[in-house]
Structure 1
Protein backbone atom coordinates (compact mmCIF):
# COMPACT_ATOMS: atom_id res chain seq x y z
CA UNK A 1 0.00 0.00 0.00
CA UNK A 2 1.30 3.44 -0.92
CA UNK A 3 2.37 5.71 1.92
CA UNK A 4 -0.46 8.16 1.12
CA UNK A 5 -3.06 5.43 1.43
CA UNK A 6 -1.48 4.18 4.65
CA UNK A 7 -1.61 7.68 6.11
CA UNK A 8 -5.24 8.02 5.05
CA UNK A 9 -6.24 4.73 6.68
CA UNK A 10 -4.54 5.78 9.91
CA UNK A 11 -6.56 9.02 9.92
CA UNK A 12 -9.72 7.06 9.14
CA UNK A 13 -9.25 4.60 11.99
CA UNK A 14 -8.86 7.47 14.44
CA UNK A 15 -12.23 8.89 13.39
CA UNK A 16 -13.95 5.49 13.14
CA UNK A 17 -15.05 4.13 16.54
CA UNK A 18 -14.11 0.51 17.07
CA UNK A 19 -17.07 -1.85 16.91
CA UNK A 20 -19.17 0.29 14.57
CA UNK A 21 -20.23 0.15 10.94
CA UNK A 22 -19.12 2.87 8.53
CA UNK A 23 -21.33 3.69 5.55
CA UNK A 24 -19.91 4.88 2.25
CA UNK A 25 -21.21 8.50 2.40
CA UNK A 26 -19.51 8.92 5.79
CA UNK A 27 -16.29 7.39 4.46
CA UNK A 28 -16.38 9.81 1.55
CA UNK A 29 -16.68 12.72 3.97
CA UNK A 30 -13.44 11.45 5.51
CA UNK A 31 -11.84 11.64 2.06
CA UNK A 32 -12.03 7.87 1.52
CA UNK A 33 -13.78 7.27 -1.79
CA UNK A 34 -15.04 3.99 -3.17
CA UNK A 35 -11.91 3.12 -5.11
CA UNK A 36 -9.81 3.61 -1.98
CA UNK A 37 -12.28 1.54 0.06
CA UNK A 38 -11.79 -1.33 -2.41
CA UNK A 39 -8.05 -0.97 -1.95
CA UNK A 40 -8.49 -1.18 1.82
CA UNK A 41 -10.61 -4.29 1.34
CA UNK A 42 -7.89 -5.98 -0.73
CA UNK A 43 -5.33 -5.01 1.91
CA UNK A 44 -7.57 -6.44 4.67
CA UNK A 45 -7.98 -3.13 6.47
CA UNK A 46 -11.77 -3.19 6.18
CA UNK A 47 -14.43 -5.78 5.42
CA UNK A 48 -17.82 -5.37 3.80
CA UNK A 49 -20.92 -6.01 5.93
CA UNK A 50 -23.38 -5.12 3.16
CA UNK A 51 -24.01 -2.81 0.23
CA UNK A 52 -22.16 0.44 1.01
CA UNK A 53 -21.40 -0.56 4.62
CA UNK A 54 -18.11 -1.65 6.16
CA UNK A 55 -16.48 -2.73 9.40
CA UNK A 56 -12.90 -2.49 10.53
CA UNK A 57 -11.04 -5.73 9.85
CA UNK A 58 -10.91 -7.87 12.97
CA UNK A 59 -13.70 -5.96 14.68
CA UNK A 60 -16.65 -7.76 16.22
CA UNK A 61 -19.61 -5.62 15.20
CA UNK A 62 -22.91 -6.07 17.00
CA UNK A 63 -26.30 -4.60 16.17
CA UNK A 64 -25.57 -1.54 18.31
CA UNK A 65 -22.60 -0.77 16.07
CA UNK A 66 -24.95 -0.84 13.11
CA UNK A 67 -27.48 1.33 14.93
CA UNK A 68 -24.70 3.84 15.63
CA UNK A 69 -24.12 4.23 11.88
CA UNK A 70 -27.85 4.64 11.24
CA UNK A 71 -28.10 7.36 13.87
CA UNK A 72 -24.81 9.25 13.64
CA UNK A 73 -23.73 8.76 10.04
CA UNK A 74 -27.05 8.49 8.22
CA UNK A 75 -28.93 10.87 10.54
CA UNK A 76 -32.04 8.69 10.74
CA UNK A 77 -34.44 8.93 13.69
CA UNK A 78 -34.23 5.29 14.73
CA UNK A 79 -33.63 4.23 18.32
CA UNK A 80 -33.59 1.19 20.56
CA UNK A 81 -36.86 1.12 22.46
CA UNK A 82 -39.36 -0.96 24.36
CA UNK A 83 -38.06 -4.01 26.20
CA UNK A 84 -34.65 -3.66 24.59
CA UNK A 85 -34.13 -0.17 26.03
CA UNK A 86 -35.24 -1.39 29.46
CA UNK A 87 -32.85 -4.34 29.25
CA UNK A 88 -29.94 -2.12 28.26
CA UNK A 89 -30.56 0.04 31.33
CA UNK A 90 -30.89 -2.85 33.77
CA UNK A 91 -34.66 -2.90 34.21
CA UNK A 92 -35.42 -6.33 32.75
CA UNK A 93 -33.00 -8.87 34.18
CA UNK A 94 -35.52 -11.68 33.69
CA UNK A 95 -35.56 -11.27 29.90
CA UNK A 96 -32.93 -12.90 27.61
CA UNK A 97 -30.41 -10.68 25.80
CA UNK A 98 -28.06 -13.23 24.27
CA UNK A 99 -27.94 -14.82 20.83
CA UNK A 100 -31.36 -15.31 19.32
CA UNK A 101 -33.00 -12.65 21.50
CA UNK A 102 -35.28 -10.04 19.95
CA UNK A 103 -34.04 -6.46 19.63
CA UNK A 104 -36.73 -3.81 19.35
CA UNK A 105 -36.08 -0.67 17.32
CA UNK A 106 -38.47 2.24 16.77
CA UNK A 107 -38.57 4.81 14.01
CA UNK A 108 -40.92 7.28 12.35
CA UNK A 109 -43.35 5.93 9.71
CA UNK A 110 -41.38 7.32 6.76
CA UNK A 111 -38.05 5.79 7.81
CA UNK A 112 -36.89 2.40 6.54
CA UNK A 113 -33.95 0.48 7.95
CA UNK A 114 -31.12 0.33 5.40
CA UNK A 115 -30.82 -2.93 3.48
CA UNK A 116 -27.34 -3.71 4.84
CA UNK A 117 -28.69 -3.56 8.40
CA UNK A 118 -31.68 -5.77 7.63
CA UNK A 119 -29.64 -8.41 5.82
CA UNK A 120 -26.63 -8.65 8.11
CA UNK A 121 -26.58 -11.55 10.58
CA UNK A 122 -26.37 -9.79 13.94
CA UNK A 123 -27.13 -12.93 15.95
CA UNK A 124 -30.41 -11.42 17.15
CA UNK A 125 -33.89 -11.01 15.71
CA UNK A 126 -34.59 -7.37 14.89
CA UNK A 127 -38.16 -6.11 15.26
CA UNK A 128 -38.61 -2.67 13.75
CA UNK A 129 -41.73 -0.68 14.63
CA UNK A 130 -42.62 2.55 12.87
CA UNK A 131 -45.04 4.86 14.62
CA UNK A 132 -45.89 8.43 15.52
CA UNK A 133 -46.57 7.47 19.12
CA UNK A 134 -45.74 10.96 20.39
CA UNK A 135 -46.87 14.23 18.83
CA UNK A 136 -44.06 16.46 20.07
CA UNK A 137 -40.32 16.31 19.47
CA UNK A 138 -39.38 12.86 18.16
CA UNK A 139 -36.32 12.94 20.43
CA UNK A 140 -38.41 13.47 23.58
CA UNK A 141 -37.72 10.78 26.13
CA UNK A 142 -34.52 9.55 24.47
CA UNK A 143 -31.10 9.27 26.07
CA UNK A 144 -27.58 8.18 25.19
CA UNK A 145 -25.98 4.89 26.19
CA UNK A 146 -22.22 4.35 26.00
CA UNK A 147 -21.28 1.10 24.28
CA UNK A 148 -17.54 1.18 24.80
CA UNK A 149 -16.11 3.41 22.07
CA UNK A 150 -19.42 4.83 20.87
CA UNK A 151 -22.84 5.98 22.06
CA UNK A 152 -26.30 4.99 20.79
CA UNK A 153 -29.65 6.65 21.45
CA UNK A 154 -32.36 4.69 23.18
CA UNK A 155 -35.58 5.30 25.05
CA UNK A 156 -35.50 6.33 28.68
CA UNK A 157 -37.38 3.92 30.98
CA UNK A 158 -40.31 6.36 30.98
CA UNK A 159 -40.67 6.19 27.20
CA UNK A 160 -39.62 2.55 26.87
CA UNK A 161 -42.46 1.20 29.01
CA UNK A 162 -44.97 3.15 26.91
CA UNK A 163 -43.45 1.58 23.78
CA UNK A 164 -43.87 -1.84 25.40
CA UNK A 165 -47.53 -1.06 26.07
CA UNK A 166 -47.96 0.04 22.46
CA UNK A 167 -47.26 -3.58 21.46
CA UNK A 168 -49.67 -5.15 23.96
CA UNK A 169 -51.24 -7.63 23.31
CA UNK A 170 -50.08 -8.44 19.75
CA UNK A 171 -46.29 -8.25 20.12
CA UNK A 172 -45.88 -8.02 23.89
CA UNK A 173 -47.74 -9.84 26.64
CA UNK A 174 -49.69 -8.09 29.36
CA UNK A 175 -47.94 -10.23 31.99
CA UNK A 176 -44.47 -9.10 30.90
CA UNK A 177 -45.62 -5.49 30.73
CA UNK A 178 -46.88 -5.75 34.30
CA UNK A 179 -43.61 -7.31 35.49
CA UNK A 180 -41.64 -4.53 33.79
CA UNK A 181 -43.84 -1.85 35.35
CA UNK A 182 -43.32 -3.35 38.80
CA UNK A 183 -39.59 -2.69 38.51
CA UNK A 184 -39.98 0.97 37.48
CA UNK A 185 -40.01 2.44 40.98
CA UNK A 186 -37.91 5.50 40.17
CA UNK A 187 -39.52 6.96 37.04
CA UNK A 188 -39.29 10.74 36.81
CA UNK A 189 -42.82 12.17 37.14
CA UNK A 190 -42.01 15.29 35.10
CA UNK A 191 -40.91 13.20 32.11
CA UNK A 192 -43.81 10.78 32.56
CA UNK A 193 -46.16 13.77 32.54
CA UNK A 194 -44.68 15.16 29.33
CA UNK A 195 -44.87 11.80 27.58
CA UNK A 196 -48.44 11.11 28.69
CA UNK A 197 -49.52 14.51 27.40
CA UNK A 198 -47.88 13.99 24.01
CA UNK A 199 -48.76 10.28 23.57
CA UNK A 200 -51.40 9.78 20.86
CA UNK A 201 -52.45 6.26 21.88
CA UNK A 202 -55.45 6.20 24.20
CA UNK A 203 -54.80 2.51 24.89
CA UNK A 204 -51.20 3.16 25.96
CA UNK A 205 -52.13 5.99 28.32
CA UNK A 206 -54.96 4.09 29.97
CA UNK A 207 -52.95 0.89 30.29
CA UNK A 208 -49.96 2.80 31.64
CA UNK A 209 -52.03 4.27 34.45
CA UNK A 210 -53.80 1.00 35.27
CA UNK A 211 -50.47 -0.78 35.71
CA UNK A 212 -48.72 2.11 37.46
CA UNK A 213 -51.49 2.50 40.00
CA UNK A 214 -51.75 -1.26 40.58
CA UNK A 215 -48.02 -1.27 41.41
CA UNK A 216 -48.48 1.54 43.93
CA UNK A 217 -45.51 3.57 42.69
CA UNK A 218 -45.02 6.80 44.64
CA UNK A 219 -44.26 8.86 41.53
CA UNK A 220 -47.85 8.34 40.34
CA UNK A 221 -49.08 10.77 43.01
CA UNK A 222 -47.05 13.56 41.41
CA UNK A 223 -48.82 13.32 38.04
CA UNK A 224 -51.48 15.82 36.97
CA UNK A 225 -53.88 13.59 35.07
CA UNK A 226 -56.25 16.48 34.36
CA UNK A 227 -53.85 17.50 31.60
CA UNK A 228 -53.86 14.06 29.97
CA UNK A 229 -56.37 13.21 27.24
CA UNK A 230 -57.65 9.69 27.98
CA UNK A 231 -60.21 9.81 25.19
CA UNK A 232 -63.77 8.56 25.24
CA UNK A 233 -65.42 5.16 25.04
CA UNK A 234 -64.15 1.79 26.18
CA UNK A 235 -61.04 -0.14 25.19
CA UNK A 236 -60.59 -3.90 25.40
CA UNK A 237 -57.31 -5.82 25.45
CA UNK A 238 -58.97 -9.20 25.89
CA UNK A 239 -62.50 -10.56 25.94
CA UNK A 240 -63.79 -11.70 29.29
CA UNK A 241 -61.13 -9.87 31.28
CA UNK A 242 -61.40 -7.43 34.15
CA UNK A 243 -62.96 -4.06 33.36
CA UNK A 244 -61.21 -1.11 34.98
CA UNK A 245 -63.99 1.44 35.40
CA UNK A 246 -61.61 4.32 36.20
CA UNK A 247 -59.77 4.10 32.88
CA UNK A 248 -62.49 2.35 30.82
CA UNK A 249 -60.29 -0.53 29.69
CA UNK A 250 -60.67 -4.31 29.94
CA UNK A 251 -57.44 -6.04 30.94
CA UNK A 252 -56.62 -9.70 31.57
CA UNK A 253 -57.18 -11.13 35.02
CA UNK A 254 -53.75 -12.78 35.18
CA UNK A 255 -52.19 -11.99 31.83
CA UNK A 256 -52.80 -12.70 28.19
CA UNK A 257 -50.90 -14.50 25.44
CA UNK A 258 -49.46 -12.55 22.55
CA UNK A 259 -51.81 -12.31 19.63
CA UNK A 260 -54.99 -12.19 21.69
CA UNK A 261 -57.78 -9.99 20.41
CA UNK A 262 -57.45 -6.36 21.36
CA UNK A 263 -57.16 -2.78 20.25
CA UNK A 264 -53.96 -0.93 19.54
CA UNK A 265 -55.04 2.67 19.09
Structure 2
Protein backbone atom coordinates (compact mmCIF):
# COMPACT_ATOMS: atom_id res chain seq x y z
CA UNK A 1 0.00 0.00 0.00
CA UNK A 2 2.72 2.48 0.99
CA UNK A 3 4.84 1.65 -2.06
CA UNK A 4 1.92 2.36 -4.39
CA UNK A 5 1.00 5.62 -2.63
CA UNK A 6 1.71 8.74 -4.66
CA UNK A 7 3.86 11.01 -2.45
CA UNK A 8 2.13 14.09 -0.97
CA UNK A 9 -1.36 12.87 -1.88
CA UNK A 10 -4.38 11.58 0.01
CA UNK A 11 -5.50 7.96 0.03
CA UNK A 12 -9.28 7.72 0.15
CA UNK A 13 -11.16 4.91 1.83
CA UNK A 14 -12.71 3.96 -1.50
CA UNK A 15 -9.27 3.58 -3.08
CA UNK A 16 -7.84 1.61 -0.16
CA UNK A 17 -10.81 -0.74 -0.32
CA UNK A 18 -9.84 -1.65 -3.89
CA UNK A 19 -6.48 -2.78 -2.47
CA UNK A 20 -8.24 -5.18 -0.14
CA UNK A 21 -7.74 -3.06 2.98
CA UNK A 22 -10.59 -3.36 5.47
CA UNK A 23 -11.97 -0.89 7.99
CA UNK A 24 -10.34 -2.91 10.74
CA UNK A 25 -7.01 -2.69 8.91
CA UNK A 26 -7.34 1.09 8.75
CA UNK A 27 -8.07 1.29 12.47
CA UNK A 28 -4.95 -0.77 13.15
CA UNK A 29 -2.82 1.35 10.80
CA UNK A 30 -3.93 4.64 12.35
CA UNK A 31 -3.50 3.25 15.89
CA UNK A 32 0.01 2.14 14.94
CA UNK A 33 0.64 5.59 13.38
CA UNK A 34 1.35 4.15 9.98
CA UNK A 35 -1.47 6.36 8.70
CA UNK A 36 -2.94 9.70 9.79
CA UNK A 37 -6.67 10.23 9.41
CA UNK A 38 -7.82 13.44 7.71
CA UNK A 39 -11.46 12.77 8.47
CA UNK A 40 -14.02 10.28 7.32
CA UNK A 41 -12.68 8.32 4.35
CA UNK A 42 -9.30 10.04 3.90
CA UNK A 43 -5.75 9.37 5.08
CA UNK A 44 -2.23 10.64 4.64
CA UNK A 45 1.18 9.29 5.50
CA UNK A 46 2.57 10.53 8.84
CA UNK A 47 5.05 13.41 8.70
CA UNK A 48 4.16 14.13 5.07
CA UNK A 49 2.79 17.48 3.91
CA UNK A 50 -0.19 17.36 1.58
CA UNK A 51 -1.15 20.47 -0.36
CA UNK A 52 -4.45 21.22 -2.07
CA UNK A 53 -2.85 19.89 -5.27
CA UNK A 54 -2.19 16.52 -3.67
CA UNK A 55 -5.70 16.38 -2.27
CA UNK A 56 -7.21 17.38 -5.63
CA UNK A 57 -5.18 14.68 -7.37
CA UNK A 58 -6.88 12.13 -5.15
CA UNK A 59 -10.33 13.58 -5.85
CA UNK A 60 -9.69 13.34 -9.58
CA UNK A 61 -8.01 9.94 -9.77
CA UNK A 62 -9.52 7.98 -6.87
CA UNK A 63 -13.02 9.43 -6.48
CA UNK A 64 -13.38 10.43 -10.15
CA UNK A 65 -14.92 13.77 -9.17
CA UNK A 66 -15.38 16.13 -12.15
CA UNK A 67 -13.41 18.95 -10.52
CA UNK A 68 -10.60 20.74 -12.35
CA UNK A 69 -8.21 23.66 -11.88
CA UNK A 70 -9.55 26.66 -13.75
CA UNK A 71 -9.49 30.39 -14.42
CA UNK A 72 -6.46 32.28 -13.08
CA UNK A 73 -4.90 29.23 -11.41
CA UNK A 74 -4.90 27.23 -14.64
CA UNK A 75 -3.33 30.16 -16.49
CA UNK A 76 -0.61 30.41 -13.86
CA UNK A 77 0.11 26.68 -14.16
CA UNK A 78 0.41 27.02 -17.94
CA UNK A 79 2.90 29.85 -17.62
CA UNK A 80 0.55 32.62 -18.76
CA UNK A 81 1.24 34.80 -15.72
CA UNK A 82 3.07 37.76 -17.22
CA UNK A 83 0.31 40.19 -16.34
CA UNK A 84 -1.17 38.38 -13.35
CA UNK A 85 -1.17 40.68 -10.34
CA UNK A 86 -4.45 39.82 -8.65
CA UNK A 87 -4.33 39.97 -4.86
CA UNK A 88 -6.50 36.88 -4.41
CA UNK A 89 -4.18 33.92 -3.98
CA UNK A 90 -6.79 31.18 -3.65
CA UNK A 91 -6.72 28.34 -6.14
CA UNK A 92 -9.76 28.24 -8.40
CA UNK A 93 -11.44 24.87 -8.82
CA UNK A 94 -14.38 24.42 -11.19
CA UNK A 95 -17.03 21.73 -11.38
CA UNK A 96 -20.54 21.22 -12.74
CA UNK A 97 -23.46 22.21 -10.54
CA UNK A 98 -24.24 20.02 -7.52
CA UNK A 99 -20.71 18.58 -7.26
CA UNK A 100 -19.67 18.82 -3.62
CA UNK A 101 -16.13 18.51 -2.31
CA UNK A 102 -15.79 15.98 0.54
CA UNK A 103 -15.89 17.33 4.08
CA UNK A 104 -12.29 16.24 4.72
CA UNK A 105 -11.12 18.31 1.75
CA UNK A 106 -13.08 21.37 2.84
CA UNK A 107 -11.86 21.02 6.42
CA UNK A 108 -8.16 20.95 5.55
CA UNK A 109 -7.97 22.93 2.29
CA UNK A 110 -11.15 24.98 2.22
CA UNK A 111 -9.24 28.20 2.93
CA UNK A 112 -6.81 27.52 0.08
CA UNK A 113 -9.34 27.08 -2.72
CA UNK A 114 -12.39 28.75 -4.23
CA UNK A 115 -14.77 26.12 -5.57
CA UNK A 116 -16.92 27.41 -8.43
CA UNK A 117 -19.95 25.33 -9.37
CA UNK A 118 -21.20 26.38 -12.77
CA UNK A 119 -22.78 25.29 -16.03
CA UNK A 120 -20.72 27.84 -17.97
CA UNK A 121 -19.15 25.23 -20.29
CA UNK A 122 -19.52 21.51 -21.11
CA UNK A 123 -17.69 19.44 -18.47
CA UNK A 124 -14.84 18.06 -20.60
CA UNK A 125 -14.45 20.61 -23.40
CA UNK A 126 -11.10 22.38 -23.38
CA UNK A 127 -9.56 20.46 -20.47
CA UNK A 128 -5.96 19.27 -20.38
CA UNK A 129 -3.44 17.95 -17.86
CA UNK A 130 -0.63 19.92 -16.28
CA UNK A 131 2.08 19.00 -13.81
CA UNK A 132 1.68 20.05 -10.20
CA UNK A 133 4.81 21.05 -8.22
CA UNK A 134 4.76 17.60 -6.60
CA UNK A 135 5.11 15.99 -10.02
CA UNK A 136 1.72 14.43 -10.66
CA UNK A 137 -0.69 15.43 -13.41
CA UNK A 138 -3.79 17.44 -12.55
CA UNK A 139 -6.78 17.95 -14.82
CA UNK A 140 -6.89 21.67 -15.62
CA UNK A 141 -8.48 24.07 -18.04
CA UNK A 142 -6.52 24.75 -21.18
CA UNK A 143 -5.70 28.38 -21.90
CA UNK A 144 -8.84 28.89 -23.99
CA UNK A 145 -11.26 27.55 -21.38
CA UNK A 146 -9.41 29.27 -18.52
CA UNK A 147 -9.78 32.62 -20.29
CA UNK A 148 -13.57 32.24 -20.41
CA UNK A 149 -13.68 31.08 -16.78
CA UNK A 150 -11.70 34.15 -15.80
CA UNK A 151 -14.14 36.44 -17.58
CA UNK A 152 -17.04 34.58 -15.99
CA UNK A 153 -15.79 35.70 -12.57
CA UNK A 154 -15.12 39.29 -13.67
CA UNK A 155 -15.74 41.96 -12.53
CA UNK A 156 -16.94 40.59 -9.18
CA UNK A 157 -13.78 38.61 -8.39
CA UNK A 158 -11.27 39.84 -10.98
CA UNK A 159 -10.62 43.37 -12.12
CA UNK A 160 -11.76 43.76 -15.73
CA UNK A 161 -8.81 45.90 -16.77
CA UNK A 162 -6.28 43.35 -15.56
CA UNK A 163 -8.34 40.53 -17.05
CA UNK A 164 -8.18 42.42 -20.33
CA UNK A 165 -4.38 42.59 -20.08
CA UNK A 166 -4.23 38.82 -19.61
CA UNK A 167 -6.47 38.21 -22.64
CA UNK A 168 -4.29 40.64 -24.60
CA UNK A 169 -1.26 38.42 -24.08
CA UNK A 170 -2.96 35.28 -25.44
CA UNK A 171 -1.58 35.25 -28.96
CA UNK A 172 -1.57 31.46 -29.34
CA UNK A 173 -5.26 30.70 -28.74
CA UNK A 174 -6.42 27.73 -30.83
CA UNK A 175 -9.24 28.95 -33.09
CA UNK A 176 -11.09 25.64 -33.51
CA UNK A 177 -11.27 25.02 -29.78
CA UNK A 178 -12.20 28.62 -28.99
CA UNK A 179 -14.94 28.48 -31.61
CA UNK A 180 -16.45 25.42 -29.90
CA UNK A 181 -16.12 26.98 -26.45
CA UNK A 182 -17.78 30.23 -27.48
CA UNK A 183 -20.61 28.44 -29.26
CA UNK A 184 -21.33 26.29 -26.20
CA UNK A 185 -20.64 28.90 -23.52
CA UNK A 186 -23.76 29.51 -21.41
CA UNK A 187 -22.96 33.16 -20.66
CA UNK A 188 -23.77 35.91 -23.15
CA UNK A 189 -21.64 38.28 -21.06
CA UNK A 190 -18.58 36.05 -21.36
CA UNK A 191 -19.01 35.57 -25.12
CA UNK A 192 -19.31 39.29 -25.79
CA UNK A 193 -16.52 40.24 -23.40
CA UNK A 194 -14.02 37.79 -24.86
CA UNK A 195 -14.75 38.88 -28.42
CA UNK A 196 -14.43 42.55 -27.53
CA UNK A 197 -11.14 42.09 -25.67
CA UNK A 198 -9.69 39.83 -28.39
CA UNK A 199 -10.73 42.29 -31.08
CA UNK A 200 -9.34 45.22 -29.11
CA UNK A 201 -5.98 43.42 -28.79
CA UNK A 202 -6.07 42.34 -32.45
CA UNK A 203 -5.47 38.72 -31.45
CA UNK A 204 -4.82 36.33 -34.36
CA UNK A 205 -7.74 34.11 -33.29
CA UNK A 206 -10.22 36.78 -34.40
CA UNK A 207 -9.29 36.21 -38.05
CA UNK A 208 -10.42 32.59 -37.82
CA UNK A 209 -13.61 32.71 -35.74
CA UNK A 210 -16.99 32.40 -37.43
CA UNK A 211 -18.90 35.07 -35.51
CA UNK A 212 -22.20 34.24 -37.21
CA UNK A 213 -22.26 30.92 -35.33
CA UNK A 214 -21.76 32.60 -31.93
CA UNK A 215 -25.00 33.77 -30.32
CA UNK A 216 -24.46 37.16 -28.66
CA UNK A 217 -28.02 37.53 -27.41
CA UNK A 218 -29.87 40.82 -27.08
CA UNK A 219 -29.93 43.68 -24.62
CA UNK A 220 -27.20 45.67 -22.91
CA UNK A 221 -24.83 44.30 -20.27
CA UNK A 222 -23.37 46.72 -17.72
CA UNK A 223 -20.04 45.67 -16.21
CA UNK A 224 -19.23 48.78 -14.22
CA UNK A 225 -20.59 52.20 -13.25
CA UNK A 226 -19.68 55.36 -15.14
CA UNK A 227 -18.15 53.38 -17.95
CA UNK A 228 -18.06 53.65 -21.73
CA UNK A 229 -20.60 52.00 -23.99
CA UNK A 230 -19.43 49.64 -26.76
CA UNK A 231 -22.33 49.54 -29.19
CA UNK A 232 -21.08 46.61 -31.27
CA UNK A 233 -21.14 44.27 -28.28
CA UNK A 234 -23.75 46.15 -26.20
CA UNK A 235 -21.39 46.36 -23.23
CA UNK A 236 -20.87 49.11 -20.68
CA UNK A 237 -17.21 48.75 -19.70
CA UNK A 238 -14.61 50.56 -17.60
CA UNK A 239 -13.32 53.51 -19.57
CA UNK A 240 -9.75 52.15 -19.41
CA UNK A 241 -10.89 49.26 -21.62
CA UNK A 242 -12.54 51.51 -24.18
CA UNK A 243 -10.68 54.83 -24.32
CA UNK A 244 -7.56 54.94 -26.43
CA UNK A 245 -4.47 56.99 -25.69
Q: Confirm or deny a common fold (TM above 0.5).
A: yes
Q: Does 1:91 align with 2:54?
A: no
Render the CA deviation track for 1:155-214: whole Å, top value 9, x for unaligned.
Answer: 001000100100111111102211211221111111111100100100000000111111
Q: Does 1:236 align with 2:219?
A: no
Residues of 1 paired with 2:25 and 2:142: CA distance?
40
Render the CA deviation track for 1:87-144: whole Å, top value 9, x for unaligned.
Answer: 111111454799x82111111111111111111047x53111111012x4x1111101
Aligned to 2:119: 132
The partner residue of 2:143 within 130, 139, 157 is 157
CA contact (8 A) 1:18 1:149 kept: no
Does the residue aligned with 1:238 lie in a helix, a strand or coil? coil
The partner residue of 1:225 within 189, 196, 211 is 211
Aligned to 1:64: 53
Tell me how many residue pairs correspond in the alignment.
240
Gaps (5+ residues) in structure 1?
1-11, 256-265
Does the residue aligned with 1:254 lie in a helix, a strand or coil? helix
Aligned to 1:145: 130
Render the CA deviation track for 1:192-241: whole Å, top value 9, x for unaligned.
Answer: 11100100100000000111111111122111111111111111101221
Does the residue aligned with 1:129 lie in a helix, a strand or coil? strand
Render the CA deviation track for 1:54-103: whole Å, top value 9, x for unaligned.
Answer: 112232211011111111111111111000100111111454799x8211
CA contact (8 A) 1:50 1:120 kept: no
Aligned to 1:201: 187
Q: Does 1:23 align with 2:12?
A: yes
Aligned to 1:5: none
Does the residue aligned with 2:225 lie in a helix, a strand or coil? coil
